[in-house]
Amino acid sequence: RWQKIFMIPLWSKMAVFWNKMFLTIIVLLIVLFLDAIREVRKYSAIHVNEKVANVNTNAFDHIQMKLFRSQRNLYLSGFSLFLWLVLRRTVTLLTQLAKGMASHAALETQVNDATEAAKKYMAENERLQEALSAKGSSKRKDSVEATDEKLKKEIEHLKAELQKTSNAFHKANNEVTAVKKQSEGLRREYDNLMKEYERLQGSLNEAEDKKDL
């Protein structure tokens, strides 16, 4: 059902637009991140200079407020940029996993068809061998031997195709397993990042509370 939904032509037409939108958001987040770094350096230097100069309390508190806001913007833009990249990587891995599962099913069907065809030819070969042993005509024998030789070649060809298909099936299975492992590792990394983000958010809230006091 989901494959039918995502195979709608509308999504392929919107793919170019979404890719451009993703790149635009990445560029915007990078600009905000660099601007936050510049602001942090600027107000950190001013904070040190004003502290040494022993200026009035209001000006010093105003500089501290600017420094705090720039640091907050730095954390937010940095985590947003990183999480946006993680989201993009997660979508890519899920897409690769879906394609791997689809190819896995197609290869499995192909292997089953090749196996059934090989069984059919082997049964036909056995039937012809029984007919050869029952009839003593040399002419028929030569004809059946030629047919038997042809069937043997076809069986060898089918065995080679079956082996090739089986190797491709195992390769696809290994790729699917690798993608699953990458997705699991990415999910754990995402959980750790969210915990770190919540911890930093709590620290920022405590700092704001202290600032208000």
Closest CA to 125 of 100, 146, 99: 146
**Cβ of 139: how many Cβ atoms within 10 Å?**
8
Q: What is the DSSP string of 99-153?
A: HHHHHHHHHHHHHHHHHHHHHHHHHHHHHHHHHHHH---HHHHHHHHHHHHHHHH
How far apart, in whole angstroms, are the C-alpha atoms of residue 159 and residue 157?
Answer: 5
Contact between 77 and 26 (Cβ < 8 Å) = no
User: Region 203-208: what's the mean pLDDT?
Assistant: 68
Q: What percent of the chain is modeled with pLDDT above 70?
A: 82
- 52 pLDDT exceeds 70? no
What is the greatest pairwise CA distance in the chain? Answer: 121
Angle subtended at Cα 26 by Cα 25 and Cα 27, rounded to the nearest 5 degrees: 90
- 53 pLDDT exceeds 60? no
DSSP code of residue 9: H
Domain membership of residue 18 (yes or no) is: yes
Contact between 40 and 70 (Cβ < 8 Å) = yes
Domain membership of residue 185 (yes or no) is: no
- 71 pLDDT exceeds 80? yes
Domain membership of residue 36 (yes or no) is: yes
Domain membership of residue 94 (yes or no) is: yes
Mean pLDDT, the chain, whole residue set: 77
Predicted pLDDT of residue 43: 80
Query: How many structural domains comprise the chain?
Result: 1
Provide φ and ψ at 140, rounded to 5°.
-65, -35
Domain membership of residue 48 (yes or no) is: yes
Q: How confident is the model at residue 147 (pLDDT cuts 50, 70, 90)?
A: confident
Domain membership of residue 88 (yes or no) is: yes
Predicted pLDDT of residue 89: 86
- 213 pLDDT exceeds 60? no
Predicted pLDDT of residue 31: 92
Domain containing 35 equals 9-104
Domain membership of residue 72 (yes or no) is: yes
Give one word for 160, left, alpha or beta, with left for phi > 0 and alpha for psi -120 to 50: alpha
Contacts of 3 (CB under 8 A, 6+ apart): 102
Domain membership of residue 152 (yes or no) is: no
- 7 pLDDT exceeds 70? no
Give per-residue pLDDT as tens, 115-132.
887 788 788 877 777 776
- 5 pLDDT exceeds 70? no
Q: How confident is the model at residue 185 (pLDDT cuts 50, 70, 90)?
A: confident
Predicted pLDDT of residue 3: 65
User: Region 164-181: what's the mean pLDDT?
Assistant: 79
Predicted pLDDT of residue 48: 60
